[in-house]
Amino acid sequence: MKKYFRELSVATALGILLIALAVLAPSFYSPQPLLSLAARASVSLVVACGMALVIIARQIDISVGSMFAVCSVCAGLLAAMHWPLAAVIVASILIGAVFGAFNGALVAGLGLPSIVVTLATMVTWQEGLRWLRQGEFVNLPEGLQWFGLSQRQGQWTMVCGAILLLVLLASAMRHLSAGRYVYAVGSDAEVARLSGIPPKRITFLIFVFMGALVGLAAIMNIAQSPQVDPQSGNGMELKVIAAVVVGGVAISGGRGNLWGVFAGLLLLACISPALTHFHIEAYWEKAIQGVIILLAVVAEGLRKRKDLGHG
């Protein structure tokens, strides 16, 4: 009970919000808007899963928004060249993995701080993309939207796919040795190394995996609209990091799980529609997000302080 205090408190907050919505604004639960909301949230969920791994391993990746934009535009261009859908998906994931590998090589290989490395790559990819494309939208061919299915089916595919990924990853993190290695490296890289775990290789692979997930999320995002917006990844990094932190992953590494991240992401994703249903102006969304992040860390800080006091 105490071990999962953070996850449970986020889940409780989410539950209260959902109940409040059910009582005060039942129109929130009309199926089609809810499904659209879930489909949009599943894009962030895929990235958030990767970010959770990165943060559990005591690193951070703020270049995800830029990688997301690059993958989206590349995938859009390939699709416009009439590549088959499966090839576009694979290509997008691979492109993401290559960008992730670049981050990983600098962080794990040269031992540079991940926050600065990904800050630099974020600026570089973002400006490079703007330079090459001048902010141009990419028009997608007919078959790509909703993966060639109907809108409903496409949205269900995305939601189910994202949840399947979450379940697989969450159990892998708990039961596979690879998952435990991530926690070990994040808790103490030196101790991990002494017990035979290669922290550098693990860190590198986590960044590659993060990039691959960003590529996947990019495909899921462009499939939701007839055009690719090259600015779609703007500010994604902070949104995703916020969800991960609210979900109880410690920024100092080694603690947290994906179910908490899931709850944190849903909580943040529900704010904006909840505001409209409660008739509060949408301009408050960012401020409320900020307050939620601060409340989450303050709760953690107070609890730690209490524990220290008793110990």
Give the residues lining the site for other proteins (CB under 8 A).
60, 106, 110-113, 115-117, 119-128, 130-131, 238, 241-242, 245, 251-252, 281, 283-291, 293-294, 297-298, 300-302, 304-305
Is 39 in contact with 155 (CB distance < 8 Å)? Answer: yes
- Closer residue to other proteins (CB): 109 or 226: 109
Give 254's strand partners.
Answer: none
- Closer residue to other proteins (CB): 134 or 150: 134
We find the least distance from the C-beta atom of residue 3 to other proteins, in angstroms, to be: 21
How many other CB atoms are there within 10 angstroms of residue 27's CB atom? 10
- Closer residue to other proteins (CB): 81 or 283: 283
We find the least distance from the C-beta atom of residue 242 to other proteins, in angstroms, to be: 7
- Closer residue to other proteins (CB): 145 or 231: 231
- Closer residue to other proteins (CB): 179 or 260: 260
- Closer residue to other proteins (CB): 117 or 212: 117
Q: Which of 94, 236, 218 is nearest to 158 (CA)?
A: 218
We find the least distance from the C-beta atom of residue 147 to other proteins, in angstroms, to be: 33
We find the least distance from the C-beta atom of residue 109 to other proteins, in angstroms, to be: 9
We find the least distance from the C-beta atom of residue 153 to other proteins, in angstroms, to be: 35
We find the least distance from the C-beta atom of residue 23 to other proteins, in angstroms, to be: 25
